[in-house]
Amino acid sequence: NAGVTQTPKFRVLKTGQSMTLLCAQDMNHEYMYWYRQDPGMGLRLIHYSVGEGTTAKGEVPDGYNVSRLKKQNFLLGLESAAPSQTSVYFCASNPKGLQVRETQYFGPGTRLLVL
């Protein structure tokens, strides 16, 4: 069981470039989330998904798009990167179920630097 994995681990982009961050989980979880972590601000929710084919906006969705074509994958896209998107991005997942969904499982993070 790999848990939640993220690709790539680190990336440098120039302003205006695009890229896709991949999150994969092998736990058959229904829910998946993308967060960004910035100094002094904790984690903020960008987008999330409650099932295959569904996505919803979180707290800070502007400048990002997501897709959940397969249950195990949740992609985060930056169409035109900006320096303000320099951050560490975390993916998380949790199962659907009254008790177990309390716990979110996090990936190791992707560090993105936009110049």
Partner 1 sequence: GNSVTQMEGPVTLSEEAFLTINCTYTATGYPSLFWYVQYPGEGLQLLLKATKADDKGSNKGFEATYRKETTSFHLEKGSVQVSDSAVYFCALKRGFFGNEKLTFGTGTRLTIIP
Q: Which amino acid is at 55?
A: T
Asked if residues 4 and 25 have their Cβ atoms less than 8 Å apart, the reply is yes
Interatomic CA distance for residues 28 and 25, integer angstroms = 7
**Residue 113 is a binding residue for partner 1 (CB under 8 A):** no
**Residue 58 is a binding residue for partner 1 (CB under 8 A):** yes
Total number of residues that touch partner 1 (CB under 8 A): 20
Asked if residues 68 and 53 have their Cβ atoms less than 8 Å apart, the reply is yes
3-state DSSP call for residue 50? Answer: strand
**Residue 12 is a binding residue for partner 1 (CB under 8 A):** no
Q: Which stretch binds partner 1 (CB under 8 A): 12-20, 34-42, 68-76, 78-86?
A: 34-42
User: Which residues lie near partner 1 (CB under 8 A)?
Assistant: 4, 40-45, 48, 50, 58, 90, 92, 101-104, 106-109
